[in-house]
Amino acid sequence: MAPLLLRTRLRAGHAISVVLTLIASLLGAGGALLALSGAAAERLEIVWNWPGGALSLQADGLAGVFLLSIHLIAGLTAVYGLEYWPLRHYPGHGRKLLFFSGLMTGAMTLIVLAGNGMLLLVAWEVMAISGYFLVTAESDKAGVPEAGWNYFIASHASGLLLLAFMAVLGHATGSYNFSDGAATGVDGPTANLLFILALAGFGIKAGIFPFHVWLPAAHANAPSHVSALFSGVVIKMGIYGLVRALWILPAPPAWWGAALLLLGGVTAVYGMAFAVNQQDIKRLLAYSSVENMGIVLMAIGVATLGKTANEPLWIALGLCAALLHVWNHSLFKPALFLGAGAVLHAAGTREMERLGGLAKSMPWTARVVLVGAVAICGLPPLNGFVSELLLYVGLFHVQGAATLSAWPAGAFAIGALSLTGGLALLCFTKLYGVVFSGVPRQVLDSTPRDPGWRMRAPMLLLAAACVLLGLAAPWLLPALGSVAGAWAPGLDVRLALEGAMETARGASVAAGLLLGSVAALWGALRWRARGALGRTMPTWGCGYTAGTPRIQYTASSFAQILAAQFEWLLHPITRTPRVDHLFPGPASFSQNTPDLILERALEPGARRIAEQMIRLRFLQHGRVQFYVLYLAVALILFLVLSQ
């Protein structure tokens, strides 16, 4: 709240508010660690004159998992913002940005702590609205208002669905209590309805296909440190809500888990297929967030099926994979977004086709992005590998259980996850290779340089955490396992966790060996190459000596083979020049891939509805007394109906 109180002219205003944010983050992260280590949930109940009952807060392990990443990322992005978005350069919306990011962090804290459905809804709305102001910070730039509207509409759809969820929950259980086991008594059809409402309502926030439509534009158009906050933690609120909702609902039928696996698989492949074909760094990263949420959804599906089939090992594997991936994604995705911000800051563009060769002039940013890219592909020895490994083992257990009717969904998810892994590798070698390798494709006004320490330190910390978590998984798993144990009361998850621990230990040992031997051999080769380092030559052009930077392979051409295979899904808009004369003039080629669901389904559909709605125009004539009449009629109608 500090920026509201501080005058714009005050030079230290920004620093003071960042220091306050850091203090709050440290407190929040400390509380999260306490919640994670404590076996029993801390509760706080305040009786309040409030529709829906008491103001109830609970800090259990699940809340701790999410609190930790909220406060880590909020703190780091605030420090990054000091240099990236300094108040004195952006007097217009700098304060707005500071205020709403603080407000959003507070709202998210309240969401994960809320033990009461109504309280959660209020915090949810606060988060959604402050998010709107953050996305539209630069509302004078092209594309930003549209992205903001998209986000706003999607957030409200999500809010409405959750309102319906809470209403049904309240009707079925008699209270808005939103803590463990609150709704175990509800009957089958109501439980199914609640599941669908939760999946859609929380799914919109998490960016699950086909509810992801708001996500790419919002993440691409927000300032980079806000994108990091969005991708790192805000979309995770949807995951939190879904896990919590599955906690309070009764024993799930097999189709819930199967639906989660199928939806997660489709989301992951869809997100990555679109990410591969983006030429805007931040849009690419945003689509990859869609993919990662699909992976988390699959992991939740494994855990849900574990509840159905009474298999504690599946719950341990599935929920540990989901929560670990939530942590992992909140480390490598902000690292990549902050890296993209540094590139945008230094080079002035986020179009990959204009960049290139930045590893020479921005070595630190290049290292961070390389670590983030390896981690996000789920490759050993970094953190992304551990969660994908646990998920794979869980999926293999599911598909191996021939007695379970949902096992084909597990097999589908394995296929989807492996295709996603391959696509991710293509996508992120393209990101690193096109932006940082080779030579610059365009002459820039000034040589791009690495940012100062206030932007560099958060990026480096996040990259270091990616390496550390890849090695330290066996020490983190017990904490996550006790959350999984509380999530499935009655099943001995603690014992089954030993199975997951074996896998995590294997991954950790492999990561250590891999890091050590690669470093040793790389050092040896480097030492052997010491003579060659001093007298370098141009890249061999295969006999062609008049090459320019423009003949380097571009981002579009790198993805072309796959774009051709996935044309039925992507529908790229391609402008190919006609080259028909003997000496053709200059020509240009362009390709962009707008979102399929947004452009082909939602926008035409909405336009058609709007056209139909014109017929109802006669109701809206501007005479106030008639509006009052409408209100009265509606009120009477509701009173009659509720009898």
628 binds another protein per the rule CB under 8 A: no
Give start and end residues of each alpha helix (H) in 174-214: 188-206
522 binds another protein (CB under 8 A): yes
* Residue 134 or 324 with smaller CB distance to another protein: 324
What Å distances lie between residue 69 and 29, 189, 266, 512, CA to CA?
8, 35, 26, 25
Nearer to another protein, 251 or 551 (CB): 551
124 vs 558, beta carbon nearer another protein? 558
Smallest CA-to-CA distance from 230 within 343, 170, 147, 300 is with: 147
Q: Which two tokens stand for residue 370?
A: 């390389």
Closest separation in Å from C-beta 233 to another protein: 27
Cα–Cα distance measured from residue 265 to residue 440, given in angstroms and rounded to the nearest whole number: 37
Radius of gyration of the chain (CA): 26
Omega of the bond prior to 210 within 30 degrees of 0, cis? Answer: yes
CB of 276 to another protein, least distance (A): 9
Nearer to another protein, 68 or 431 (CB): 431
**Residues 496-515 as x/- pattern, contact with another protein by CB under 8 A:** ---x--xx-xxx--x--xx-
Instruction: Find the binding residues for another protein in span 322-361 (CB under 8 A).
Output: 356-357, 359-360
Residue 383 vs 399, nearer CB to another protein: 399
| Contacts to another protein from residues 411-470, by CB under 8 A | 411, 414-415, 417-419, 421-423, 425-426, 428-430, 432-434, 437-439
Dist CA 476 CA 624 (whole Å): 62
540 binding another protein? (CB under 8 A): yes
Q: Distances in Å between the alpha carbon of 365 and those of 219, 226, 247? A: 20, 18, 41
Q: Which is nearer to another protein, 167 or 520 (CB)?
A: 520
Please say which residue, 170 or 408, places its beta carbon nearer to another protein: 408
Smallest distance, another protein to C-beta of residue 9, A: 44
Q: Provide the minimum distance between the beta carbon of 369 and another protein in the complex, in angstroms, as a whole number.
A: 11
Cβ burial, residue 451 (10 Å; 0-12/13-18/19+): buried
According to CB under 8 A, which one of 542, 613, 616, 619 is a site residue for another protein?
A: 542
Cis peptide, bond prior to residue 381, ω within 30 of zero? yes
Query: Least distance from C-beta 34 to another protein, angstroms?
Result: 32
CA 628 to chain centre: 44
Q: How far is the CB of 589 from another protein (least distance, A)?
A: 15
Residue 543 identity? G
CB of 411 to another protein, least distance (A): 5
Q: Which is nearer to another protein, 41 or 562 (CB)?
A: 562
Q: Find the binder of another protein among 49, 403, 446, 536 (CB under 8 A).
A: 536
DSSP 8-state secondary structure symbol assigned to residue 617: G
- How many residues appear in the chain? 643
One residue of 10, 23, 34, 564 binding another protein per CB under 8 A: 564
Binding to another protein (CB under 8 A) within 382-411 occurs at 385, 388-390, 392-393, 396-397, 399-400, 402, 408, 411
| Per-residue buried b or exposed e for 563-588, using 16+ beta carbons within 10 Å of the residue's own CB | beebeeebebeeeeeeeeeeeeeeee
Spatial distance between the Cα atoms of 379 and 386, rounded to a whole number of angstroms: 9
